[in-house]
Structure 1
Amino acid sequence: MRLRLLIVLLCCLAGAAQAEPAKATPQKAYLTLIIDDLGQNLPRDRRVLALPGPVTTAIMPDTPHATEFAREAHRAGKIVILHMPMDPATGPFAWHPELPIEELEKRLDAAFKMVPYTSGINNHMGSRMTAQPGAMAWLMANLQQRHKFFVDSRTSAQTVAAAEAQKIGLAHVSRDVFLDDERTEAAIFTQLQTAISLAKKQGSAVMIGHPYPQTLAVLERELPKLKSQGIEWIDIKQMISLRGNRAMAAHGKDGIYR
C-alpha cells in the first residue's frame, strides 16, 4: 500500500514538473560608449579618462592636443581611435568627394601620424563623404591592410560605409544612439535610457557622445548604475566581436546593411 502511494506521488510530481513551463534565460544586454571630438581641451578630456569603464576615445587629428592626449589615453588603458574629418567637415585632414584617392590617402596617413596608438577610426561628420561607395570601398580595404577596425557614426541615413566594410569582412560596428544632439542633462539622460532599452531589446547598443559638461555630468552619475540595471559595459573591440559584423535591425535586414 505504501509503495503504491509512493509511486502515485512520484508520478504526480513528475507531471507537475512537466507542466511547469521552462523559465526563459534573461538576455544579456551590452553597451559600448565612444566619446568623440577629443584632443581640444586637456582638462576637459581627462574627465573622459576618469569615467568608470572602457570608454573609447575618438581623437580628432586637427586639434592642439591630439598626439599628447592619444598617449595619455593609451597609458590609461583606453582604446584610441582616429576621429577622421569627412565632408562637410573642413580642415587639412578632411575628406571631400571631389578629392582623388591619392589625396585621400595622403590625408589619412597624416591623420594617423597625428593620433598614435589607434586601433581603428570613426567618421567626424561625413554625411556627404560616407555616401560615396568608391571612396568608402577604398577606405575599408586600406583599413584592412592596416589591421584597423571601422565605426560608422551614421551621421546620415545615406551612409554606405558599414555596408562596404561588411562586403570585405572588415571588423566594424555601427552607432545606434547619439547621446547629446540636445545639450541638456535631461535630454542626455533620456538618450542614455533609450540606449539601455535598445540594448535590452536587441542585446547590444553602441552610444556616441561628446565631452560636453552636461554629457560628462550625466555619464559620471549614471554609468556606475549600469550593472544594477542588468547592463554590461564592454569595450568597442568586444562589441565588434559580439555583433560579428552583422547589421542591427535599424540598419539593415537579416544582418545585411541596406
Structure 2
Amino acid sequence: MRCLLFTLLYLLSGAALAASAQPAKAYLSLIIDDLGQNPARDSRTLALPGPVTLAIMPDTPHASDFAREAHRAGKTVILHMPMDPATGPYAWHPGTPLPELERRLDAALAKVPYAAGINNHMGSRMTAEAGPMAWLMSELQRRDLFFVDSRTSAATVAARSAQNASLASVSRDVFLDDVRTTEAIAGQLQQGIALARKQGSAVLIGHPYPQTLEVLERELPRLKAQGIEWIEIRQMIAERSNRAMTGHGRNGIYK
C-alpha cells in the first residue's frame, strides 16, 4: 500500500512539473507581407479578422491608398522595406552610402503613410551588413518606429543590432507559405501554434496568396478555442521585451 502511495505521489509530482514547464499563456502575432500590389488581394487581407499587421511595399501602385484604408480600419501598418537582393528605387544594397540609404528610407516611408514600424522585404544580403543595420536601428529609434526582423537569412544581424540599440523589435518565428498549398500552409500554422504553446509566443509571417488567405479565413476564428491569444504586434514586442527566443539566440541575447 505504501509503495502504491509513493508511486502515485511521484506520478502526480511529475505531472505538476510538466505542467509548470508550459508557459501560462500562448500568444501569436501575424504579419502579411507584400501588400499594395493588388486591390482584390489587399481587400481580402484587410477583411481577415483580428489584429493582422499589414506590411506594405513602397514600390507598388496602391501602397499609399491601401495604407490609408488599413489605418482607417484600425489595422497596424508597417513598411515592407526592400533590401538586397530586392531591387527597385527604394531597395537597400551593400556599399550604398548612408545618405542614399536615408533618402530611400525617407521616400519609402512617405509612400506608406501611418507606418508604425518596418520589416525587411527579402534582405538576406543587406541584413547581414552590421554597419547599415546599426545605423538603421538608431534611425528608427529617433523616428519612434519599431523593427521586425523577417529573418530571411541565418546571417542576419538586424535583430541583434536592434537589441543593441534598445529599439522596440521582434523576430519572425515561422513563415507560413514557403510552400503554396493549403495543406502545407495549414501545417505551418499548426507549427506556429505549437511553438506558441512551447515558448509562450510565436510571430508568423505570410503573404496574400489565395491559398494562404483561404487557410487563414478558416483557421483564425478557431485560435481562441485552441487556447491561443492572438495579439497585436506592438503587444508582442512588449511581451517579449526585446528578448530573443531560443531559436534565435541564447539567454535572450540575439546571435
TM-score bracket, normalised by the shorter chain, equals over 0.9
Aligned with residue 147 of structure 1, among 144, 148, 154:
144
**Which residue in 1 is equivalent to 2:184?**
187
1:101-131 deviation digits (Å, cap 9, x = unpaired): 0100000000000000010000000000000
Q: In structure 2, what is the equivalent of residue 91 of structure 1?
A: 88
1:175 to 156, 169, 172: 172
SS in 2 for 1:36: strand
Identity of aligned residues (%): 74
Match of 1:27 in 2: 24
What amino acid is the match of 1:160?
A: V
Q: What CA distance in whole angstroms lies between the structure 1 residues aligned with 2:49 and 2:135?
A: 37
Tell me, yes or no, if structure 1 residue 104 matches structure 2 residue 104.
no
- Partners of 1:196 and 1:215 in 2: how far apart? 16
Gaps of at least 5 residues in structure 1 are: 1-19
Supply the AA of the counterpart residue of 1:250: G
Partner of 1:8: none
Give secondary structure in 2 for the equivalent of 1:151.
strand
Q: Tell me the amino acid that sits aligned with residue 145 of structure 1.
A: R
- CA shift for structure 1 position 27: 1.9
The equivalent of 2:195 in structure 1 is: 198
The residue number in structure 2 matching 1:12 is none
> In the aligned structure 1, how far is the partner of 2:179 from the partner of 2:24?
31
Displacement of 1:168 = 1.4
Which of 217, 223, 242 is the equivalent residue of 1:220? 217
2:30 aligned with 1:52: no
Amino acid at match of 2:166: G
1:67 Cα deviation from its structure 2 partner: 0.1
**Separation in structure 1 between the aligned mates of residue 254 and residue 75 of structure 2, nearest angstrom:** 29
Q: Which residue is 1:16 aligned to?
A: none
Residue type of the alignment partner of 1:248:
M
1:230 matched residue in structure 2: 227
- Aligned counterpart, 2:117: 120
TM-score (ref. length: structure 1): 0.91
Cα offset, 1:43, TM superposition: 1.4
Letter in 2 for 1:157: A
Q: Is residue 62 of structure 1 aligned with residue 62 of structure 2?
A: no
Code of the residue aligned with 2:146 in structure 1: it is F
SS in 1 for 2:54: strand
Deviations 1:133-178 (A, max 9, x none): 0000000000000000000000000000000000011000000000
Which ranges of structure 2 fall in alignment gaps of 5 or more residues?
Answer: 1-11
Candidates 244, 247, 252, aligned match of 1:255: 252
**Pair member with larger Rg:** 1
Between the aligned partners of 1:168 and 1:136, the Cα distance in structure 2 is 10
Q: Quick check: 1:80 aligned with 2:113?
A: no
Partner of 2:8: none
TM-score (norm 2): 0.92
